[in-house]
Structures are given as C-alpha cells and as structure tokens.
C-alpha cells in the first residue's frame, strides 16, 4: 500500500470488505454487492472506489474496457492498523488496560482464558530469547 499514513474509515470498511470477500471485481460487481449489503447507490460506490484508489487502498486496472478493482491492503494489515489506532487513542497504548475493560464487560469462556494464557506464555518465552 502506498499511503500508510491514512487509515480505513468506517465507511471505507464496507468497500474493503466487499473486495476482500469477492476479490477482484468490476465496478458493476462492487455496486451490486454494496447495494445489496449496505444499500449504497451506484454513484456512492463508484466515487468511493475512485477515492480509495487515489488513497492507495484499492488497485484498478483497465481490462478490455472494464475496470477491475482489488484490495491493495490486506485485511490482516488493515485490522492490525485499526487495532493499533484504537489501542493508542482509547487506552494510550496499554494493552492491559484494554483487556481489563473488555473482560469486565464480557465474561471470558474457559477456552478464551486458555488462549490468553497461551499468548502470555509465548510472549514471556519470547522475551527470554531476546
């Protein structure tokens, strides 16, 4: 992705989800998907495709007179970027504060607790190898 300073806005997530789900598609296919899933008009979808291409989140190629669009940003990278932004903005970068807030609101299942223990154990072991 060319422009790492930008982030995907909540509105742009809809378009990115479309591209991540159906892969490379024409503008018409994106319009049909987003009309069905979000209720957007053709002009809204095409405008957003153009803007996101300019931002570097979407790639566009003209193939036999049809423009084909695909995500230039991998879903995992976008999720990581948004998570980092949220963590820094809301919890001043403190993962432990975020976990405390989340676990106070929603009880963890035994499986989730075990997964967290495994993550913490791996993190601890990783520090010993540095």
18-56 confidence digits (pLDDT tens):
999 999 999 999 999 999 999 999 999 999 999 999 999
What is the tally of structural domains in the chain?
A: 2
Does residue 127 sit in the same domain as residue 78? Answer: no
Q: pLDDT value at position 129?
A: 59
Cβ atoms within 10 A of the Cβ of 16, count?
20
Q: pLDDT value at position 15?
A: 97
Does residue 58 sit in the same domain as residue 119? Answer: no
Regions of the chain short of the pLDDT cut 70: 1-5, 128-130
Q: pLDDT value at position 4?
A: 45
> Which domain covers residue 112, as residue numbers?
95-130
Supply the pTM of this predicted model: 0.74
Q: pLDDT value at position 130?
A: 52
Do 59 and 69 contact (CB within 8 A), yes or no?
Answer: yes
Q: What is the CATH number of the domain that holds 16?
A: 1.10.10.10
From CA 4, how far away is CA 63, in angstroms rounded?
Answer: 27
In this structure, what are the phi and psi dihedrals at residue 20, rounded to the nearest 5 degrees? -70, -35
């Amino acid at each position: 992705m060319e422009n790492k300073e930008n982030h995907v806005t909540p509105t742009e997530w809809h378009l990115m989800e479309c591209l991540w789900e159906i892969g490379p598609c024409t503008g018409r296919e994106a319009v049909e998907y987003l009309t069905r899933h979000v209720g957007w008009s053709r002009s809204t979808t095409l405008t957003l495709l153009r803007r996101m291409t300019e931002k570097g989140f979407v790639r566009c190629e003209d193939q036999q007179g049809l423009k084909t669009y695909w995500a230039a940003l991998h879903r995992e990278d976008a999720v990581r970027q948004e998570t980092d932004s949220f963590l820094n903005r809301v919890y001043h970068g403190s993962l432990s504060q975020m976990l405390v807030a989340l676990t106070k609101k929603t009880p963890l299942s035994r499986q989730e607790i075990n997964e967290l223990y495994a993550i913490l154990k791996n993190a601890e072991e990783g520090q010993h190898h540095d």
